[in-house]
Amino acid sequence: DKAGHRHFMAKEIAEQPQVLGEALRFYLGEAGDRITLPGDGIDFTKLERLTLVACGTAYYACLTAKYWFEQIARMPVEVDVASEFRYREPPVTPGTMALFVSQSGETADTLAALRYCRDKAETVVSVVNVAESSIARESDLALPILAGTEIGVASTKAFSCQLTVLLLLAIEAGRQRGTLDADRLADLLSALRGLPSVIGRAIDDGATAEALSLQLAEAQDVLFLGRGLMYPLALEGALKMKEISYIHAEAYASGELKHGPIALIDKHVPVVVMAPRDALFDKTVSNMQEVMARGGQVLLISDHAGITAAQDGIWRSIEMPQVDPVLSPILYAIPAQLIAYHTAVAKGTDVDQPRNLAKSVTVE
């Protein structure tokens, strides 16, 4: 049942305020002032490092989490795609928490990576949508993302719920390890409580993404750029674009542009720049200006302050609500999804069942 939407993907994008609200209530309780993990929880003071493993969109959620765990909890974090991790036979030291992220909980490579870690890691934790899945059952602790059934092959609400649970974990790790002071903890939890309504506003403002779709649908190639927390999100934006619109899309960390990819830029290449006005904003703007100097058509996704500061010469902008920069990946996932969705609709592709793809990859 698409609940009046044209595609399951549109329905699942629209559901995000509600499912994120449910996930937050599960972990924060009604008062919303402390994080409670299910079961015996996790003792982060006993852990020395984290190894995060997943595939596809779930891998990009892990890449984002690396920034969070490093910054908030000052923990060393390694991230890998499951298909590489499992055959590399990496050393997994006893103080390691091995964390696996999977919507379906049945992805063959992720499950094999989990089994490889079972007798090596201190603890094996999973972040899953399907509670009775193999990955959930074989973990010491399974953390639900509570996104509800996701039918569209391209992951949307599962991604934002994965991010939310991973951020809650990083905050809890920071609290336990004393790297997060009480005021900042309270600020972050308050920002998280407000997130469903901010996400709702971003979805309601989706008309700009729709208005751009006819032009984006003409493109042969699209580049996505981001720095810091926006880099994994640029990767996710490019993946969404490829898989449902079949337009070739690549993402780069903004600072890598001049090390090669800038050679791709000409007036036919739209460049999506994801850059809230945070501490890295000015750096990204200077990369954006290098793109524009070579004729690239910049679509800037930023907040009011960012767009006001950097609108000269850009092709189009999408204005996002203001949030605490730590939460920006969850919010900026919305325009990434909407751009891909509307471009695919403009191209007339099979949005919910893109060619060559399966919802659950149970063979390697």
Interface pattern 115-154 for ligand F6R (x via CB under 6 A):
---------------------------------------x
Instruction: Examine residue 58 and tell whether it contacts ligand F6R (CB under 6 A).
Output: yes
User: Of 18, 208, 353, 360, which one interacts with ligand F6R (CB under 6 A)?
Assistant: 360
Torsion from C-alpha of 39, 44, 47, 49, nearest 10 degrees: 110
Q: How far apart are the first and last CA of the chain?
A: 31
Tell me: does residue 57 bind ligand F6R (CB under 6 A).
Answer: yes
CA distance to 36, 174, 352, per residue, from 200 (Å): 25, 28, 22
What are residue 269's phi and psi, to 5 degrees?
A: -105, 110
Q: Residue 335 CB, nearest distance to ligand F6R (Å)?
A: 16
The yes or no reply on residue 110 touching ligand F6R (CB under 6 A) is yes
Report the residue closest to ligand F6R, judged by CB.
56
* Residue of the chain from 64, 83, 107, 164 that contacts ligand F6R (CB under 6 A): 107
Q: Is 359 in the active site?
A: yes
56 lines the binding site for ligand F6R (CB under 6 A):
yes
Residue with smaller CB distance to ligand F6R, 51 or 107: 107
Q: Per CB under 6 A, does 361 bind ligand F6R? A: yes
Q: Which is nearer to ligand F6R, 100 or 281 (CB)?
A: 100
Task: Say whether residue 103 binds ligand F6R (CB under 6 A).
Answer: yes
Which stretch in 49-57, 245-253, 311-319, 320-328 sits in contact with ligand F6R by CB under 6 A? 49-57
Check binding of 55 to ligand F6R (CB under 6 A).
Answer: yes
Closest CB to ligand F6R among residues 154, 310 = 154
In the range 223-252, which residues lie near ligand F6R by CB under 6 A?
239, 243
* Catalytic entry in 2, 120, 283, 359: 359
> Is 168 one of the binding residues for ligand F6R (CB under 6 A)?
no
Residues 27 and 36: beta-carbon distance below 8 Å:
yes
The yes or no reply on residue 50 touching ligand F6R (CB under 6 A) is no
Residues in contact with ligand F6R, total (CB under 6 A)?
15
Binding site for ligand F6R (CB under 6 A): 55-58, 102-104, 107, 110, 154-155, 239, 243, 360-361
